[in-house]
Homo-oligomer: A and B are copies of this chain.
Amino acid sequence: MISIQTKRYSFNLKKNFPFEFKTLTQQFFRVKLYSSMATFNRTTLEEVLKKRFFYTPSFQIYGAVAGFYDYGPPGCALQANIIDLWRRHFILEEDMLEMDGSIMTPAEVLKTSGHVDKFTDWMVKDSLKTSDIYRADHLIKQELETRLEGDKQARAKLDGNVQSEKSKKKNDKSQMVKLEDSVKAEYEDIITRISNYNGVEIGEVIRKYNIKSPETGNDLTEPEEFNLMFESSIGPTGHQKGYLRPETAQGQFLNFKRFLEFNNDKMPFASASIGRSFRNEISPRSGLIRVREFTMAEIEHYVDPNNKTHSRFNEVKDIKLRLVPRSVQSEGKMDPIEMAIGEAVEKKIVDNETLGYFLARTYLFLTKLGIKPDRLRFRQHMPNEMAHYACDCWDADIHNSYGWIECVGCADRSAYDLTVHSNRTKEKLVVRENLAEPMIYDKTVLEINKKVFGPKLRQNSKTVEDYLTSLNEEQLEALKKALEDGNGTTKVPGTDGNQYEITSEYLTIKRQTFTEHVREYTPNVIEPSFGIGRILYSLIEHVYWTRKDDEQRSVLSFPPRVAPFKCLLVPLSNNPAFTDLVDELAKRIRKLSIAIKVDDSSNSIGRRYARNDELGTPFAITIDFQSVNDRTITLRERDSTKQIRENIDTILQVLKDLLEESTTWEKVMETYPTFTQQELD
């Protein structure tokens, strides 16, 4: 998942790593506001999530540790339902080969993948208080944004739009100082590009713009690279270094041969894995968005590099996506183009069918979860963001109150990963394809005349032979010519660097015809990679609203399929008359494998409904005195708060149909009379 890049691109290393804020894209977004966000208040939502135990900082009674969260019952069920849908939507639907691999990974594997050397962030320390450590790009961005805010206020004042100090937002540390126009432009440029800067460049910015340690005002140290992997040691010797995996992908690549065999050697196919990964952030922030331990779901789809069509592309080709291709971004804009994925592939905006197929399938998955289509976009990586080997890469960005957050990365990684692991381990990670027609071709080959070569070159024969056997066809032809030009004698270097004389007696260089019945190739990998926590948090924001009549009443309108609990079961009060019927119904509903929540607490029924609206429970069955007499019960729908009243069997059947999506609440309301309840509280 992480991009390993050539020297030339190395300053862009982490751009291809999903789950990274996009400084650039956030900047562009700042001007926009979505209708659904107009009344959004993150503080209120966070209170609801805390109160209902969706999630909580881990180890809180020990003071918590930044970047670690525990999911409580509703968060845990929500996550399980998202994962379940992901498994059905991708793995089952497409016959993917799922694996569950080790988290602890020997250093050698991650050395080969490039993570040991390049999976780093730049950090700076306070020069006097060295326990204050900052992620350099975030620190610079924050400081320059504060200065720009101060400039904005100063300019507004000059224009006569005086802003009172009181109207400032909390935490706004900006000071009203007007900047030179050129300085302002420089700041804006740096903010856009800072996440691509290397250590030297970061150091220059800090010195040039006099950026200090924010808490103390002290100087900052020179930027240092900090590897983001958690390190450990395996076994009792202390000599075997291991890291917690930063992604599940490497475990999949290492098992490629077994997957291919399991798939009866048929191509293309995909492996997939869902599991915990780790990233030792310098300074985690933004709640569930930037954490040190997270659940990911990754697909590695292996294709023939010569054929990246997809057999099911036809099924998705008309799906319209909001794309932000390179061409738009290079004009400094972020406005999405709405386009059918079929057209985008045809116009080569998206590189190939398989990549396009996964973008469309990702769109279907996210919207099925409840992500709002107008807060979802697919942004293409700029060439300088991508790894040198990648063909194309798109992020699914979901908008939430932290900005546009990269939640899914979808990259065509070419043959990079399989190639590096194969080179390192000498294990062939290739596909062998039987050719319908044999492939016949000529090739220049070298034959060494052992009888002369060894005796003549003696102790130097190995170094010369190693050099000669490393030559490609072109070099062999050149050598042949050199021998001809030198009347059968020339000099060649050994692998030791010395020059040795050879004659045409030593070897033969000739064209030879080969016939091959099998084509061997390293597959390319197309990798859709999902950050489950980011998707989960964005989803919560997308389905959150407060009732018009009462802003204190929050609702989480999860689609039933992902709602943590599907149905609330409540007696009107905690009167013992209801107990038997509650038990009977609870048993029957559980038998239908429906996750229910029984609330027979002494709270008013209105409060119990409100509590379950906050949990996002889509339906509620209520048992009242009439129920005990005539065995009718009511079914309430969360969003409309409307109810119907029917006998138990009918209600349970309706509930089952609603959850299996064979009916909708609208249809139910058409079929059964609305039940108007007496005052509740």
Contact = CB atoms under 8 A, between A and B. Distances in A.
B62 A236 contact: no
A99 B123 contact: no
Contact of A73 (B73, B99, B123, B292): B99
Interface residues of A, number: 83
A133 B238 CA distance: 11
Interface in A230-255: 230-237, 239-240, 242, 244, 251, 254-255
A620 to B, nearest CB: 16
Nearest to A56: B258
A99 B123 CA distance: 34
B235 A233 contact: no
Contact of A109 (B59, B109, B292, B421): B59
Interface in A31-77: 52-53, 56, 58-62, 65-66, 68-73, 75-77
Contact of A59 (B71, B254, B429): B254
B133 A251 contact: no
Nearest to A271: B73
Interface stretch (A13-21, A100-108, A199-207, A637-645): A100-108
A59 B105 contact: yes
A92 interface: yes
Contact of A95 (B232, B233, B242, B598): B598
Given A70-B255, A104-B68, A293-B104, A237 B76 contact: no
A70 B100 contact: yes
Contact of A255 (B56, B123, B276, B598): B56
A102 B69 contact: yes
Contact of A232 (B93, B102, B231, B237): B231
A208 B131 CA distance: 53
Contact of A58 (B56, B58, B101, B280): B101
B133 A237 contact: yes
A169 interface: no
Interface in A536-573: none
Given A72-B258, A93-B590, A123-B236, A59 B102 contact: yes
Given A234-B280, A590-B92, A254 B103 contact: no
Contact of A133 (B69, B236, B601): B236
B97 A262 contact: no
Contacts of A62: 106, 108-109, 254, 424-425
Given A73-B99, A237-B131, A254 B61 contact: yes
A interface SS class:
mixed
Contacts of A71: 99-101
Given A231-B232, A237-B133, A100 B88 contact: no
Given A56-B258, A76-B98, A70 B104 contact: no
B104 A278 contact: yes
A431 B167 CA distance: 45
Contact of A599 (B59, B68, B264): B264
A282 interface: yes
Interface string A596-622: 011101000000000000000000000
A47 to B, nearest CB: 14
B262 A292 contact: no
Nearest to A282: B236
Nearest to A104: B293
B100 A79 contact: yes
Nearest to A257: B61
A328 to B, nearest CB: 37
Contacts of A280: 234-236
A662 interface: no
A280 B62 CA distance: 25
Contact of A97 (B72, B99, B266, B276): B72
A286 interface: no
Given A53-B262, A61-B421, 10 more contacts: A53-B258, A61-B425, A62-B109, A65-B106, A68-B102, A95-B597, A103-B103, A123-B236, A230-B234, A235-B280
18 contacts: A53-B258, A56-B258, A58-B251, A61-B257, A62-B254, A66-B235, A68-B104, A72-B262, A73-B262, A75-B100, A76-B98, A80-B98, A102-B293, A133-B235, A226-B236, A231-B233, A235-B281, A275-B276
